[in-house]
């Protein structure tokens, strides 16, 4: 695939790609503050062109309010309309010109409590469980589901002390799984629907066989299954450890990929399906176009929209289209805990994107393509080693979602993320777009010193610098100091187990100090911090890894003050802005906000973007000095104590030098140095 980029006035981006005889032209338009507001994709083929125009609306906080799409000359459709509560949580979503509606509610810890619609409704219970042990740590104890407030089906879950799922039993629709594990996190037995426990046999972490199945598994030197004992299929892999061929009597499947590992074609018994950045072909004819809420089905040149209603894991539970102005059910699906499908209403089984929203490979016995590897929900394991296994030494490289598939998912087969109150999962959802060239999250890489950082130029293994390792867009990472961190799309890092997050400037290495700060903030947010923690900070007691006790000891007063202030103010952050010169922008990117020797004892910030632009015009623009605007995240405890005044009709915030290191600044991408 060839890629090329043209930039015009830093607001409109033109991109293109070539795939076989087809090619794309994409034009993206952004708002003044960098929001994607319009995307036009023209897909050129020898049979004619297909134009997909998508536009977006946002509120004052940058939250998406609505998505509109038009294909060719068909009427524009409102794919979704979103409404939020006072805490910024999604409270309502409507689909297809607001014909279908779903309401969402949350508990006091911001965990999803229920979603409710006429078509599919779900309730999650944690510490308020019924008929089973309550869960206080984010594990789900009960899941109830049905429609229109009628929830006749209940799943009850049990876990061991390592939060691994040990049983899942349902009433209403009968489904059950009982599971056991070894000390390495390998499944040792699985009893589904009380049919008897199938025992798993291993060499190390490699599965050799499963009782009651006739075949055995064999592996190559990289840990890829060459023979799948469950389905009796022989596989080969390419240099990225992705399946290249799969064969057994009467079945032949061949896959091709581009250099970044994206699937381009699947040839099943000489029937070819092409995948072109969200457009799929059957043979030489477009079959479907993926949208943010499902897909558009080609019916002789006219596209019909199909929508998916999903649970908290992204599992598609209800698929529908609009017929005579009303919702028409096409397909309903239920799943066992580890993803094996139990379809209750196969009115139409055309939808192949089901568990976690991934494409099922029926040719491979119901396995799912996650991107980096294929997952087998029948046995609850991957058949290929985790490509990022070295990033989490505590986790089995073949285990799916840390053996807790009700709380975690694996978005791309690289690393699991938490769905219950997880900032990484919210970032993943907000940056998932089917529009080629749309909201394009950039990627994390590991440098030669084993430190992850954000590289705007790395989008695949082939674009990663020599001596560095491509990690991907959502990565769970254990620092040298032992902190469990999730690095997410849009430069955010997330302290695993909480919803506290922050941003890492482009090119900056993630450090144990950031992880320690996230850990402190998490403790404060959940009201578990004590005087002992603050005292420990003051003595440098929690220092570790790359930061060292001496550093924390030198910063003890500031850290203790920050923690106390954050606790007193109830925590939280606000956004302010600052106009900066090119030199200061570089300095902030490398060292954060600070006062240089001989400089002022504080820095001025603006409460609004408009006022920051005015400051930049007066302080730099009139003298012809290059400048840009930075968006700054400030703890409320610092902001509340800052000196505020008005100058030349503009509001200003004066933050003392001692507090500047607690600020996080990001240059807005619409405002380059000029």
pLDDT tens digits along 381-419? 999 999 988 877 778 999 999 999 999 999 999 888 889
Confidence band for 42, pLDDT divided at 50, 70 and 90: very high
Confidence band for 421, pLDDT divided at 50, 70 and 90: low
Confidence band for 159, pLDDT divided at 50, 70 and 90: very high
**In CATH, which of 3.40.50, 3.20.170, 2.60.120, 3.40.1350 is domain 573-667?**
3.20.170
Residue 483 has a pLDDT of 53
Alpha-carbon span 25 to 44, nearest angstrom: 8
Alpha-carbon span 667 to 116, nearest angstrom: 39
Greater confidence (29 vs 571) lies with 29
Phi-psi region of 194 (alpha: psi -120 to 50; beta: other; left: phi over 0): left
Residue 347 has a pLDDT of 60
Residue 668 has a pLDDT of 74
Whether the per-residue pLDDT at 544 is higher than 80: the answer is no
Q: Of 8-17, 65-74, 464-473, where does the model show the most confidence? A: 65-74
Residue 628 has a pLDDT of 86
Alpha-carbon span 119 to 229, nearest angstrom: 39
Confidence band for 105, pLDDT divided at 50, 70 and 90: very high
Residue 102 tokens read as 């779903």
Between 85-99, 375-389, 615-629, the lowest mean confidence (pLDDT) is in 615-629
Residue 361 has a pLDDT of 94
Whether the per-residue pLDDT at 122 is higher than 90: the answer is yes
Whether the per-residue pLDDT at 517 is higher than 60: the answer is no
Confidence band for 573, pLDDT divided at 50, 70 and 90: confident
Specify the residue for token string 């003392």: 656
Greater confidence (145 vs 449) lies with 145
Q: List the helix and strand counts (H, then E) for the chain.
A: 8, 51
Greater confidence (629 vs 557) lies with 629
Q: Which residues contact 235 (CB under 8 A, 6 or more apart)?
A: 224, 225, 226, 227, 228, 243, 244, 245, 246, 247
Residue 646 has a pLDDT of 83
Q: Is the dihedral angle over the CA atoms 42, 2, 474, 629 positive or is it negative?
A: negative
Confidence band for 645, pLDDT divided at 50, 70 and 90: confident
Alpha-carbon span 490 to 57, nearest angstrom: 19
Whether the per-residue pLDDT at 577 is higher than 60: the answer is yes
Whether the per-residue pLDDT at 673 is higher than 90: the answer is no
Specify the residue for token string 């057994």: 248
Mean pLDDT in residue range 465-481: 66
Residue 2 has a pLDDT of 44
Question: What percent of the chain stands above pLDDT 90?
Answer: 53
Strand pairing of 408-409 and 501-503?
unpaired
Residue 86 tokens read as 């006072």
Residue 543 tokens read as 């220092």
| Average pLDDT taken over every residue of the chain | 81
Q: Is the dihedral angle over the CA atoms 563, 569, 575, 578 positive or is it negative?
A: negative
- For the chain, the domains span 1-97, 441-569, 573-667
Whether the per-residue pLDDT at 167 is higher than 70: the answer is yes
Whether the per-residue pLDDT at 239 is higher than 90: the answer is yes
Residue 540 has a pLDDT of 34
Q: 84-93 — which CB contacts under 8 Å span 24+ positions?
A: 84/59, 88/61, 88/63
Greater confidence (101 vs 672) lies with 101
Residue 672 has a pLDDT of 41
Which of 350, 402, 353, 355 has the alpha carbon at shortest distance from 375?
Answer: 355
Q: Which phi and psi angles does 662 have, rounded to 5°?
A: -85, -5
Residue 213 has a pLDDT of 80
């Amino acid at each position: 695939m060839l890629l090329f980029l043209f930039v015009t006035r830093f607001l409109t981006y033109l991109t293109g790609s070539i795939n076989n005889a087809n090619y794309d032209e994409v034009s993206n338009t952004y708002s003044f503050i960098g929001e994607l507001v319009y995307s036009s994709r023209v897909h050129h083929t020898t049979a004619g062109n297909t134009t997909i125009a998508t536009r977006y609306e946002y509120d004052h906080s940058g939250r998406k309010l609505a998505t509109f799409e038009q294909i060719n000359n068909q009427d524009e459709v409102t794919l979704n309309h979103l409404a939020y509560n006072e805490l910024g949580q999604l409270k309502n979503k409507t689909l297809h010109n607001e014909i279908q509606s779903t309401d969402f509610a949350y508990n006091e810890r911001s965990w999803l409590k229920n979603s409710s619609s006429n078509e599919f409704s779900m309730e999650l219970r944690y510490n308020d469980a019924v008929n089973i042990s309550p869960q206080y740590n984010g594990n789900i104890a009960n899941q109830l589901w049905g429609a229109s407030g009628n929830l006749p089906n209940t799943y009850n879950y049990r876990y061991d002390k390592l939060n691994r799922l040990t049983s899942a039993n349902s009433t209403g629709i009968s489904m059950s799984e009982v599971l056991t594990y070894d000390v390495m996190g390998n499944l040792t037995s699985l009893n589904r629907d009380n049919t008897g426990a199938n025992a798993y046999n291993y060499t190390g972490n490699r599965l050799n066989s499963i009782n009651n199945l006739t075949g055995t598994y064999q592996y190559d030197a990289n840990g890829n299954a060459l023979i799948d004992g469950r389905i009796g299929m022989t596989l080969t892999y390419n240099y990225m450890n992705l399946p290249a061929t799969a064969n057994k009597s009467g079945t032949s499947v061949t896959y091709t990929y581009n250099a970044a590992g994206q699937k381009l074609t699947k040839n099943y018994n000489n029937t070819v399906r092409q995948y072109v950045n969200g457009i799929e072909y059957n043979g030489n004819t477009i079959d479907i176009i993926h949208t943010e809420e499902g897909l558009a089905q080609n019916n002789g040149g006219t596209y019909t929209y199909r929508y998916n209603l999903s649970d908290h894991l992204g599992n598609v539970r209800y698929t529908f289209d609009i017929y005579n102005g009303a919702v028409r059910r096409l397909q309903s699906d239920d799943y066992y805990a580890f993803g094996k499908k139990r379809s209750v209403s196969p009115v139409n089984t055309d939808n192949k994107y089901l568990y976690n929203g991934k494409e099922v490979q029926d040719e491979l016995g119901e396995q799912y393509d996650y991107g980096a590897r294929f997952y087998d929900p029948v046995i609850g394991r991957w058949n290929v080693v985790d490509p990022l296994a070295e990033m989490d030494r505590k986790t089995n490289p073949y285990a799916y979602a840390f053996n807790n598939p009700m709380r975690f998912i694996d978005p791309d087969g690289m690393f699991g993320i938490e769905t219950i109150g997880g900032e990484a999962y919210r970032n993943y959802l907000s940056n998932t777009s089917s529009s080629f060239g749309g909201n394009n999250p950039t990627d994390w890489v590991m440098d030669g010193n084993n430190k992850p950082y954000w590289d705007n130029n790395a989008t695949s293994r082939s674009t990663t610098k020599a001596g560095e390792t491509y990690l991907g867009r959502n990565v769970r990472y254990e620092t040298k100091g032992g902190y469990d961190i999730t690095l997410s799309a849009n430069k955010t890092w997330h302290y695993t187990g909480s919803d506290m997050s922050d941003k890492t400037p482009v090119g900056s290495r993630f450090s144990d100090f950031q992880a320690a700060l996230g850990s402190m903030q998490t403790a404060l947010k959940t009201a578990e911090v004590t005087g002992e923690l603050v005292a420990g900070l003051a003595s440098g007691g929690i220092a570790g890894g790359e930061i060292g006790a001496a550093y924390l000891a030198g910063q003890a007063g500031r850290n203790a003050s920050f923690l106390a202030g954050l606790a007193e103010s109830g925590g939280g952050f606000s956004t302010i802005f600052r106009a900066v010169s090119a030199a200061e922008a570089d300095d902030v990117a490398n060292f954060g906000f600070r006062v240089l020797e001989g400089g002022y004892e504080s820095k001025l910030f603006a409460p609004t973007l408009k006022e920051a632009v005015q400051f930049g015009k007066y302080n730099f623009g009139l003298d012809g000095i290059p400048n840009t605007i930075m968006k700054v995240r400030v703890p409320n405890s610092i902001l509340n104590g800052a000196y505020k005044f008005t100058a030349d009709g503009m509001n200003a915030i004066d933050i003392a030098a001692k507090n500047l290191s607690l600020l996080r600044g990001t240059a807005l991408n619409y405002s380059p140095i000029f």
